[in-house]
Amino acid sequence: MLAAVASLALGGCAARNQGTSAGGNTPSAAAPQQAANAADPRGDGNGRCSGVSLAYAGTINGNSAALGVNILKGADLAIRQHNQANPNCQVTLKQFDTEGKPDKAPGVVTQVINTPDILGVIGLPFSGESKASGDLFDNAGLATVTPSATAVSLTTHGWRTFFRGMGNDGVQGPAAAKFLTDTLKVNKVCVVEDDSEYGTGLAASVVRSLGGKTSCTDKVKSGQTDFSAVVNKISTENPDAVFYSGYYQEAGPFAQQLNDKGVTARFVGPDGVKDPEFIKGAGAAAAANTYFTCPCVPVENFTDFVTAFTVNEGQAPGTYSAEGYDVTTILLKGLDKGISDRAGLLDFVRNYDGQGLTKHFKWDAQGELFDKPVWSYKVQGGAIVNNGQIS
């Protein structure tokens, strides 16, 4: 992991284009440009540290693992680039697989906490496992920066160690509702939620934001494969759109079964669905009518990052790869300053104020960012492409 790799400099570019909509109803499709002052994990090459590690904790092999692997690979790239540029500060990335399960995560997190050289954590990716483990991290004083756990409640527990690298579901829910009503111009939406902490919380936010345009609601279970009862209900309701609040593993076959039933409503999923695995599960015909919302930023104009990621990680960056890269870079900047204990790195993150690839990173007292963009995406030509910023 720490072997030398080709160095691709992150060149300065024009000021960021946030892609705000001129008319207020249609998202601007322009992806952001890389900010000239975006933090670089290589720093100035003069970092000094010894015997320190960061950890990725989250799913690697479990359900919806692709989302966790995207983050892990983003963290890996940042540490590769950092170590090549800083011979006097070699940081180890240690990996811990929670499989994304709330019942397994506390045991894995205990292993992380009991590894003294780990000073900061990238993760956890999912809201349920984050809720189950937050007290453990807080009691240990170990800073955790999640690139993807969006449940609003995670910042209400009084944890000093939890920081979120993107907007929460209280931001994504209203943005999704705005996208459905203002951009897709729909009047009847069926909202279907899975039984995860993430799925139920986001669905509630979407329903609340849609108001009277929510024409029906229903529930499914994680691991479910037969959606005939829900599909029949939606077919009878004949909505303009279906919003699925959950993950791609169930969303794919659900969309396929809706399509097989002849339901022509537009299918909209959130960040948990936004993965090429969804297209595989849904099939080309069903996926072609799909849109996504995500508090993640399109990376197509971050050309040096995309090239380096593809070369070093063996695949193109996916949902939350750039966010994983950004939050790892922040932790590395603290280590480069000679911070050698958990308390010091926690204080560094708490007071951090700087530009990343994806957004400006500065947190409030609860660990929520001030900068919380939400973007839309769509399936086009069998791939997921940027469809413009919503908020």
105-125 pLDDT, tens digit each: 999 999 999 999 999 999 999
Amino acid identity at 13: C
Tell me which residue of 342, 334, 353, 381 sits closest to 116, measured CA to CA: 342
Q: Are 119 and 343 in contact (CB under 8 A)?
A: no
Q: Which are the contacts of 112, defined by CB distance < 8 A and separation ≥ 6?
A: 55, 57, 94, 96, 118, 121, 142
Give Cα 263 to chain centroid, integer Å: 29
DSSP strands (E only) in the chain? 53-58, 92-97, 118-123, 143-146, 162-164, 189-193, 214-219, 241-245, 266-269, 290-294, 353-355, 360-362, 375-380, 383-389
d(CA 176, CA 182) in angstroms, rounded, equals 10
Please identify which residue in the block is written with the tokens 């409640």.
153
- pLDDT for 364 equals 98
Residue 75, pLDDT score: 98
Under-70 pLDDT residues of the chain: 1-28
What per-residue confidence (pLDDT) applies to 27?
A: 57
User: What DSSP state is assigned to residue 183?
Assistant: I
In the block, residue with structure tokens 């894995």:
108
CATH of domain 53-168+298-358: 3.40.50.2300
Question: Where exactly does CATH 3.40.50.2300 map onto the chain?
Answer: 53-168+298-358, 170-294+376-389
Residues 220, 228: Cα–Cα separation, whole Å = 11
Question: What are the tokens at 350?
Answer: 């708490």
Contact 149, 164 (CB under 8 A): yes
Gap between the Cα atoms of 330 and 91, Å rounded: 13
Query: Which residues, listed in sequence order, are joined to residue 293 by a DSSP beta bridge?
Result: 376
- What pairs with residue 151 in β-bridges? none
Give the separation between CA 128 and CA 222, rounded to whole angstroms: 13
**Strand ordering across the sheet containing 118-123:** 92-97, 53-58, 118-123, 143-146, 162-164
Rounded Cα–Cα distance for residues 57 and 320 (Å): 15
* Cβ atoms of residues 269 and 248 within 8 Å: yes
Give the pair of three-digit tokens for residue 376: 């839309």
Superfamily of domain 170-294+376-389: Response regulator (3.40.50.2300)
370: Cβ–Cβ under 8 A, 6 or more apart, which residues?
360, 362, 363, 364
CA pair distance 332, 30, nearest whole angstrom: 30
What one-letter code names the amino acid at 119? L
- What pLDDT does 26 receive? 52
152-to-42, 169, 247, 347, 367 alpha-carbon distances in Å: 33, 6, 17, 23, 11
Whole-number pLDDT of residue 391: 83
